[in-house]
Chain A
């Protein structure tokens, strides 16, 4: 009789070792071999992808332009809590640092750091450093006499925040926030709120581009999916053709088509739709960005849709028709729901690509067709690495949130990219 109350016995191999460890040992060799096979790729990804991204994230919260060049100020800020009244010894520490900066030629670097939050301070720092060794006590009056900005509490708040190399200042600037004289946080003036506006514009334009891609790609993908293989392959090449053409060539051909002296305007003038003086501006603005990016990103929508539609058997539509559904009901209730994984995958792909797209808006966006990536590039060209990194990190976070939402709503395992 079997004793059902005893604990389950550990399974053992013929020579008495526990089955689990025997299995692990038997598989260990295969696991190591697999690991060594992927090691080169792993190292490549870590070195060229993960490390740079972490480095970028670090830059967005780390800047030692002020803290490393103003040791006396750093010490003074550490010993004294924040207060509206700045005493003479703080100015003495400042002058000592300014003298050292003039010797090391680092006044510019320190000024640049403060300049991020209080614009116009680079020149103030440079001028003060040049004349620092001629100043005599009391330094407070002497400095304020040379430039009254030195008495501005905002400048001291900025310097106190910059006295640590770790800072959230760049994220605050990227979110159109600033510190006030009490050290609190408030929104910047209306006419200076550029970052949030640009983020919103980037997301809205990306949404418009995604929707127009979807509207254009859906019929194409459906057509490709129902055609016989030989014909659909030929058409697929036409869809993929833009992939194989240089981005610059494609973009310049759009310029030729859309510009005010371009083909479409010429045609409309010739047809008499518009007068010669009423030519429509379709490029170097938001319209241009939307049209050209829709064209460039279209294949990324067609391919996932096609791969999903290809495997939907035509018998579903036939079944729905035989059950009494009109063709519109069949499309809405039977076909469309089954293409959702493709719609979701294509939309996610196009949206994420559009949000980070740089070259096309730079070429055809003009003044109001610029996206956040163009601003990131602008900061990089000015060597404002921390600003660029903070903006890029916000963009990355937004995309990751979208990705997470997608996973929650649709499930990442249902993603079909082709």
Chain B
């Protein structure tokens, strides 16, 4: 696991605040430490402040308050071209009047690197993304995926130790995007660079990152590994934002020993794990992943409370079955079951009982 203590952090945001208009804060008291060699993703809806954070790190925006540290030095006053940070932009930003080779050579030229060394580095970087044969093309003659690779190679050609990526795969189609995710991930692993990646695509964040910082409303809502984020969301926003999720509003009936029971607004009682609720009678929103809901009696965890459900809709999705249920007065409850041999297909109108292990139902703050 990558070390993340602030003392030896490679990149650190310390109490950073940012305001564009002097009236409202886009980034509110950001504290974030990124270890050397880490792949950290800033994930969040648009307007959550994640891109602003990236721009402050790159030097295109100045922090209104606080310090940004890079490798132990304060870079607040360092202009972007002296930070030595590689950056991949959303629309690639390849210079249209230069060939691929000239684009890659540019950062080396401005550093005053000699011609032969430049050529060697350009070749190495292009080989890294398997694009050397395109060295004399112009960006306009390349497809989106090819431009993406060139942008990546350009951000890496001058051997930066930190690379920022601002939604670099947003313009690609799904298949290419998934392919590029793995390619970026492999480059990160083989080069040992530190990557700060911004995206609003949670799948991308989960696939690629060592850690994910979920942004909303100018704050980090949760900073955790992908599995923690998915399985143990800290609050309702994270639970909603990452993956699909069933919500059951209710009131804490009993609490203690890492377990609680929740009385739903319609009267049923269910098991849950308290996360950010602490006392009896508090309002809560219980969050359960669709694939963790059980409906076959023989598979039900021992001693679990069960509640009644009625099948509203059954959707065959190939590898999965997706069933929409009416539970506790709402017909938005979804369960997913794998299409395994002998898996039962539910039919609309069928009455079933559902339940789950208490640790899979998380009692969070009411939204």
Residue of B at shortest CB range from A325? B110
Interface presence of B12 (CB below 8 A): no
CB contact under 8 A between A316 and B95, given known A322-B80, A322-B85: yes
CB contact under 8 A between A318 and B93, given known A323-B110, A324-B107: yes
B110 and A315 within 8 A (CB): no
Tell me the smallest distance from the CB of B56 to a CB of chain A, in Å. 13
B89 and A325 within 8 A (CB): no
Chain B residues whose CB sits within 8 angstroms of the CB of A319 once the complex forms: 87, 89, 93-95
Interface class of chain A by DSSP = helix
Of A125-133, A135-143, A221-229, A333-341, the one contacting chain B is: A333-341
CB contact under 8 A between A324 and B158, given known A318-B60, A318-B80, A333-B106: yes
Please report the C-alpha to C-alpha distance between residue A323 and residue B158 in the assembled complex, in whole angstroms: 8
Chain B residues whose CB sits within 8 angstroms of the CB of A323 once the complex forms: 81, 86-87, 106-107, 110, 154-155, 158
Please report the C-alpha to C-alpha distance between residue A319 and residue B98 in the assembled complex, in whole angstroms: 14
B residues 102-149 in Cβ contact with A at 8 Å: 106-107, 110-111
Tell me the smallest distance from the CB of A173 to a CB of chain B, in Å. 47
User: Which residue of B95, B111, B154, B155 contacts A334 across the interface (Cβ within 8 Å)?
Assistant: B95
Please report the C-alpha to C-alpha distance between residue A316 and residue B87 in the assembled complex, in whole angstroms: 12
Interface presence of B84 (CB below 8 A): yes
Interface presence of B101 (CB below 8 A): no
A315 and B81 within 8 A (CB): no
A321 and B97 within 8 A (CB): no
User: Which residue of B84, B93, B94 contacts A324 across the interface (Cβ within 8 Å)?
Assistant: B84
Chain B residues whose CB sits within 8 angstroms of the CB of A338 once the complex forms: 96-97
Interface presence of B58 (CB below 8 A): yes
Interface presence of A353 (CB below 8 A): no
CB contact under 8 A between A325 and B106, given known A318-B60, A318-B80, A319-B87: yes
Please report the C-alpha to C-alpha distance between residue A313 and residue B89 in the assembled complex, in whole angstroms: 11
CB contact under 8 A between A313 and B110, given known A322-B80, A324-B81, A338-B97: no
Interface presence of A147 (CB below 8 A): no
A residues 315-365 in Cβ contact with B at 8 Å: 315-316, 318-327, 329, 333-334, 337-338
Starting from the known contacts A318-B89, A323-B86, 14 additional A-B residue pairs (CB-CB under 8 Å) come to A313-B93, A315-B91, A315-B93, A318-B60, A319-B89, A319-B93, A320-B106, A321-B80, A322-B80, A324-B82, A324-B111, A326-B110, A333-B106, A338-B97
20 pairs of residues in contact across A and B, judged by CB atoms under 8 Å: A316-B95, A319-B87, A319-B93, A319-B94, A319-B95, A320-B106, A321-B60, A322-B81, A322-B85, A323-B87, A323-B110, A323-B155, A324-B81, A324-B111, A325-B106, A325-B107, A326-B110, A327-B81, A337-B97, A338-B97
Top 4 A-B pairs, shortest CB-CB distance: A323-B107, A319-B93, A322-B87, A315-B93
